[in-house]
Amino acid sequence: MGSSEPLQTSVAGFLDDVSAATPAPGAGAVAALVVALGAALAEMAARLSPGEEDALAAAQVLRARAAPLGRADAEAYEEFLAVRRRGDDDRAARDRTVAVPLEIAECASEAAALAARLAVRGNPSLRGEAMAAALAASAGAAIACTLVSINLPDGPDERLDRARALAAAAAEHAAVAQSPRPA
């Protein structure tokens, strides 16, 4: 993994780590961070929207769930590579490289739904933040779904079906957030 913990480094340091000639952090860490940022924007919109205390609490939980998944994804991928280098059975390590992005997609879908709700009924002055939150969460879900697809062995798998459904739901929520607000 790069030289620093994603949650404990500057943006510039994280960008350097992602761009380094190392296998991780990579797309999974970026997906987790994008989802956490979307949840943080939803948290901001909820915090400044009267009557949205439940949305605020949900956004805080989602941000706390999503943020550490970047490191978890990098660790899972590094372990998978180490197991393959040793020539050991890689099924358990491969499963972890699927489980972590699937969890990112789950957080993303929930964050997009929450953000769409805030875009529609939250504080109108924070609609842009809620819309951006939904778009960020949707992007994170799409990245995570792609990683699930790449990391699975060939053949049908219910985890890929789940990842696709989560990404589609997040995209639908982002579209709702972007639609004109009812008068």
Count of domains observed in the chain: 1
- 138, part of any domain: yes
* 101-150 tens-digit pLDDT: 999 999 999 999 999 999 999 999 999 999 999 999 999 999 999 999 99
What per-residue confidence (pLDDT) applies to 33?
Answer: 95
- 183, part of any domain: no
- 27, part of any domain: yes
Contact (Cβ atoms closer than 8 angstroms) between residue 115 and residue 133: yes
Structure tokens at 170: 């997040």
- 6, part of any domain: no
> For residues 98 and 105, what is the distance between their CA atoms, to the nearest angstrom?
11
What per-residue confidence (pLDDT) applies to 1?
Answer: 45
* 21-76 tens-digit pLDDT: 888 889 999 999 999 999 999 999 999 999 999 999 999 999 999 999 999 999 99
Structural domain span for residue 129: 23-178
Query: Tell me, what CATH number does 117's domain have?
Result: 1.20.120.680
- 75, part of any domain: yes
- 62, part of any domain: yes
How many other CB atoms are found less than 10 A from the CB of residue 11?
8
- 50, part of any domain: yes
Whether residue 2 is predicted with pLDDT greater than 70 in this model: the reply is: no
- 10, part of any domain: no
How many other CB atoms are found less than 10 A from the CB of residue 121?
15
H or E stretch covering 111 = helix 91-121
pLDDT-derived band at 158, boundaries 50, 70, 90: very high
